[in-house]
Chains A and B, each alone.
Chain A
Amino acid sequence: MPKFVSVEEAAKLIPDGATVMFGGFMGCGSAHKFIDALSKTGVKDLTMICNDASMPGGPLGEEYYAVAKLVHNRQIKRLITSHVGLNPEVATQSMQEKTLEVLLVPQGSLVEMIRSGGAGLGGVLTPTGVGTLVEESPLCLGKQTINGRDYLLMQPLRADFAVIAGAKIDKAGNVWYKGTTSNFNVVMATAADTVIAEGEELVEIGSIAPEDVRTPSVFVDYVVEGGKY
């Protein structure tokens, strides 16, 4: 059974220097309330694994949307991601000030690297990135030819924490996602030592049909109620 805690209590779990996966894609499916709380704890030197660095200017007029807050607060020192083009602060911190290390990985490789980390596999062989700078990435372990086609061996990714978000979480900790919010949340829930799940709504057991559970409770360690965001 996961523990049900406040967002503030959950945010305090994350120490300086931790590696944290954040679900969400341009803020869609991000644990908004938890990230707000984390941005106020002052925790720093985080390695963030997230599809993107989100953006300033959220849909509800937020100055910094989702993980863009953590970048803006300079709480991230290393970022493993597929896209940072919509958050200009990443370029400032990484290219000009050189205070942020950015490792870019193709999106489809990133999700499988996380999946393999969570599924006990030794990495991913993917044709994506062959002949490109990805071959030189520290996350690329080499090249192999299988049946005449070249593949890159990408290392599995795990984290100390994964922070995921769903529209509904039941009292056992099962998660249901709405719309395009499942994105990276589903794989990240499998690939961290401690998983913190934010639900917009916490519901009774049985409210989510067993067939509709996308992240089973056994992956979830802490549940926080985000409320309607």
Chain B
Amino acid sequence: MDRSQIKGFIAARVARELKDGDVVNLGIGLPTLVPNYLPEGVHVTLQAELGCVGVGVLTDENRDPLHVVDAGGSPSAVGPGGCFIDSSTSFGLIRGGHVDATILGGLEVDAEGSLSNWIIPGKKMPGMGGAMDLLVGAKNVIVAMEHTAKGKPKILNKCTLPYTAVHCVDLIITEMGVIKVTQAGLELVEINPEFTVEQVQAATEATLIISPDLKPMV
């Protein structure tokens, strides 16, 4: 798979985690592909932290870049039945547990379910934006990312970069497999048939618990 196929493959698997009626917040990048892969009959309400509940499809007609944008500042749109809210209400919704799932990328994830994705000290300090609130507040936190960065593991025993939030991740979905964060550690529950368990482990710093019920990731 090339990188764009990898992203599509991960997004398609993430989409199957979502249930009809879920309120979902998507991070930038790969997570924004997820709605393209929703199974038939599954409709979710997309929440944008900037202040939109029920994000819709952007068209030439509804495009209004001065008044309706997404969290990255790009033009966005509200869908039928959606609404606009202010930032306090938006983060109340996020922190208060009213978001069923948040899907975001990570620089590092560790065996304790902690995530780092907001700062590389001395090099990059983009800021956390809404990520810390989303990780703390969403009921289900799904990290969707490529398994390694330039061949180096991103799934570690312990994050080396400053945390975005601790003990927050529920599921990690990569092109190699699906990993559940459990009390005992990281459990590989699905594996992409293109890889062996040994290959997945070799690309992962943390020791994986192999589910007795390991399924193919399709």
Contacts and interface: CB of A to CB of B under 8 A. Distances in A.
B126 A128 contact: no
Nearest to B77: A179
Contacts of A187: 86-88
B62 to A, nearest CB: 10
B127 A214 contact: no
Interface residues of A, number: 52
Nearest to A86: B73
B163 A131 contact: yes
A146 interface: no
B9 interface: no
Interface string B107-122: 0000000100001001
Interface in B49-107: 49-52, 64-69, 71-73, 75-76, 78, 84-88, 91, 94-95
Contact of A133 (B119, B122, B136): B119
Contacts of B128: 82-83, 104, 106-107, 134
Given A51-B87, A82-B128, A185-B86, A178 B49 contact: no
Contacts of B166: 130-132
A10 to B, nearest CB: 20
Q: Considering residues A26, A27, A180, which has the most beta carbons from chain B within 10 angstroms of its beta carbon?
A: A180
Nearest to B95: A108
Interface residues of B, number: 46
B133 interface: yes
Interface string B150-163: 00000000000011
Contact of A59 (B66, B94, B114): B66
Q: Give chain B's interface secondary structure class.
A: loop
Given A91-B125, A167-B67, A178-B67, A26 B130 contact: no
A108 B133 contact: yes
Interface in B28-64: 48-52, 64
B67 A83 contact: no
Contacts of A126: 95
B65 A59 contact: yes
B124 interface: yes
A98 B81 CA distance: 47
A182 B48 CA distance: 13
B51 A132 contact: no
Nearest to B116: A132
Contact of A179 (B84, B125, B129, B165): B84
A184 interface: yes
A95 B125 contact: yes
A28 B66 contact: yes
A28 B136 contact: no
Interface in A175-204: 177-187
A91 B72 CA distance: 18
Contact of A112 (B52, B67, B88): B88
A34 B81 CA distance: 34
A186 B14 CA distance: 35
B132 A132 contact: yes
A83 B117 CA distance: 13
5 contacts: A83-B127, A111-B88, A183-B51, A184-B86, A214-B86
9 closest Cβ pairs, A-B complex: A85-B126, A26-B73, A108-B91, A179-B67, A108-B133, A131-B166, A59-B65, A83-B127, A179-B68
Interface of B: 48-52, 64-69, 71-73, 75-76, 78, 84-88, 91, 94-95, 114, 119, 122, 124-133, 136-137, 162-167
